[in-house]
Structure 1
Amino acid sequence: MRRLGIHSFVWTGGGTQDALETALEQSADCGYRLIEFAYLRPERFDLDRLARKAQSLDVEIAVTMGLPVSADVSSEDAATVRAGEALLADAVKAVRDVGGKTLGGILYSAHTKYSTMPTERGRQNSVAAIARTAEIAEAAGVDLVLEVVNRFETNLLNTAAQGLAFIEATGSAAVTLHLDTFHMNIEEANPAAAIRLAGDRIGYFHIGESNRGYLGDGVIDFDRIFDALLDIDYARNITFESFSSAVVDEALSLACAIWRDTWTDNVPLARHAKAFIDLKREEAARRRETNARP
């Protein structure tokens, strides 16, 4: 693992510059070396100031987002696809300008529950849009990572296997997958096997519990998750993600169906998550060492 991160929605809905800077401070205070923000609109935030703040705290910034229906690159409507590509290009530039290295999330479709099956034309539009965005991202020094999410948040990429086929279709080695334990727990028959299947094509990883709350309070088998990450020698960023209606913004609450308070006090949650992830990584390393002994 390169850096352990935390999603900013643990701290704030992210509506103001001061809130984002406070989230940076809180993340650093809890021992995290990366923070994940939702799309940072340049017209709303001072990205230079945010970059300086992050640098002073030695906290790296990652950005994740989902496309709106009006900018769905998997649409069959050419104008909608163009709007999506423009939004993605702007997001890449914002990540670059804030000193970040990663743009992830549902970049290949709208972040919504679809009422129709994906079409082949729409998939081809998405593949082409991501391939073009990858060129922009690579030139900007930004990693483009596509988050594989559950069936209620996209109709296009629900499994690691689908994600691998999609990134192969882009023809770009610069596009990788963004896997998430919460989503894998819903869609994958065997999340650990999915991690091993994706292997070095995983560019970013989310740790989240099945109930979106405290790690260890749900049904995800994190021992198998961390064993699999160790088996593929995963050495990139891992970010803890947890949502509660007590903090998260209204738009994400609607998109992700966050209808209740999974927690109300964020500092204990954040400290527990770091300790939990550190422990599970250590335990996985000890299991590998024990199993390797003659």
Structure 2
Amino acid sequence: MRRPKPKTKHKVDIDTVEKFQTLRKQEQKYFDDMVQQCKDVGATLVICQWGFDDEANHLLMHRNLPAVRWVGGVELEFIAIGTSGRIVPMFQELTAEKLGKDNITDPTEVEALKAIKERLIDPNGNLSNWIRGDPCTSRWTGVLCFNETLIDDYLHVQELQLMNLSLSGNLAPEIGSLAYMERLNFMWNKIIGSIPKEIGNIKSLVLLLLNGNLLTGSLPDELGFLPNLGRIQIDQDHISGPLPASFANLNNTSDNIQGLFIFLSEVLVAESLNLFRHT
């Protein structure tokens, strides 16, 4: 790509140390003001068609604002189209409304996924890419997201598919922060501990698949208030205790009740079935 020829419209004579120092301060302030303007409007990346010197680049990086220079005009247009941004010819025209946006995962869900990984033991390194990039756009293992941003302009986790990955450890309560998730699948691992009651916060949940683990304790009462839950699988775990009365709300799961409570006594299973029949 051919670089543009510099166009000098003004002549500046620097013939003393004092003049140089004055010019140096003016230039520093000029760069500082431009960088601050980028930060003030919320920019997180600067892409420039022409060049800027190393000092300007240093100032940008010092303010945690990475920059790319000498980007072709056609490429700039593609970037603007892809991010719904505007190409700004002058800093004076820079506003927050003209910024382009790259799709990213809801920060709350990013932190939740990190907390989930922190509580898991992953001997085969299946989740090793959970420390790089964005969960949705970088396609973290087992993390499936909606194709488009929602009303809050963020991408959201739709499914967590971590079946048969030799995972152990326990389920972090932060899993309840995946508020838009529809399918949660941890089948055939070695997860221990109890089922987090915070799963009851995921009102969009349709499938809860936890069978084939080493889970213990009782079923959280909060699961009975999930309006969209259509199936729960916890067979071949070690879940015990009485069936929460709230499960009478789960009309969609009544057909699977015997599979759900395989570790309960036949009497309790029968009572559970009666509970559903009388609702």
Larger RCO (CA under 8 A, 6+ residues apart) = 1
Q: TM-score, normalised by structure 1?
A: 0.27
Which of the pair has more CA radius of gyration? 2
Higher helix share: 1
Q: TM-score, normalised by structure 2?
A: 0.28
